[in-house]
Amino acid sequence: MKTKDIVLVALFAALIVVLSLMPPIPVPVVPVPLTLQTLGVMLAGLVLGPRRGALAVTLYVALALLGIPVLPGGRAGLAVLAGPTAGFLLGMIPGAAVTGWLAGSPQPAASRSAGLQVFRCWLAAAVGSMGVVYLVGIPWMAMVAGMDPAKAIWAMVVFIPGDLIKALLAAVIAQRVRLAVATV
């Protein structure tokens, strides 16, 4: 990896940390709080692409598992893997990779409208950073929390509107960053 890649991976891992430290909002009935860390995961995938985005999230997860309190609520350590949110945490790594892969490389401004690029990024963030993360996280949460899998799926419905809004915000930010970088 080039120095630039290492710096970008570290920078986005730090961004995810900052977004994770925003106070989590507890949700009744579900042992998973509303957080902003997924916004950072979406941005990492959209801006850095699949490989570097996944590396940024891997660094973030590694920091948490090493005991540095970077997770929402200041949680950290290997004990996190025994909790109901571990599947979501681990699912963020492939989620960032899929988001970056689906978003693809930025298109020149003349070849695509900004609205179409934002839609493409939004769809990539929704599928990658929501679909993949939910696909890993929901079964884990159901198993650890002793929930019926169908009940666990229905419990996660409360997160969908907020995650779709985060995906749109990430898409708008990423599209602007990608255009700015492409013109430099």
Q: How confident is the model at residue 109 (pLDDT cuts 50, 70, 90)?
A: low
Please compute the mean of the pLDDT values over residues 155-165 and round it to a whole number: 89
Q: Which domain holds residue 170?
A: 3-183
Please compute the mean of the pLDDT values over residues 38-66 and round it to a whole number: 97
pTM of the model: 0.90
Residues 168, 169, 171, 175, CA torsion sign:
positive
Q: Which residue has the tokens 């969908």?
A: 160
Cite the DSSP H helix spans in 27-72.
37-65
What pLDDT digit, counting tens, does each position of 4-27 carry? Answer: 999 999 999 999 999 998 887 877
Question: Among residues 158, 29, 142, 42, which one has the least CA distance to residue 100?
Answer: 42
What span, in angstroms and rounded, lies between the C-alpha atoms of 147 and 173? Answer: 36
pLDDT surpasses 90 at 29:
no
Residues 107, 112, 118, 124, CA torsion sign:
negative
The CATH number covering residue 9 comes to 1.10.1760.20
Question: Among residues 91, 78, 84, which one has the least CA distance to residue 38?
Answer: 91
What span, in angstroms and rounded, lies between the C-alpha atoms of 80 and 35? Answer: 16
Instruction: Please tell me the chain's helix, strand, coil percentages from 3-state DSSP, rounded to the nearest 5.
Output: 75, 0, 25
DSSP state of 108: P
The total number of structural domains that make up the chain: 1
Which residues lie closer than 8 Å to 72 by C-beta, 6 or more apart? 20, 21, 22, 23, 24, 33, 35, 37
Which residues lie closer than 8 Å to 21 by C-beta, 6 or more apart? 70, 72, 74
pLDDT surpasses 70 at 106:
no
Please compute the mean of the pLDDT values over residues 79-100 and round it to a whole number: 95
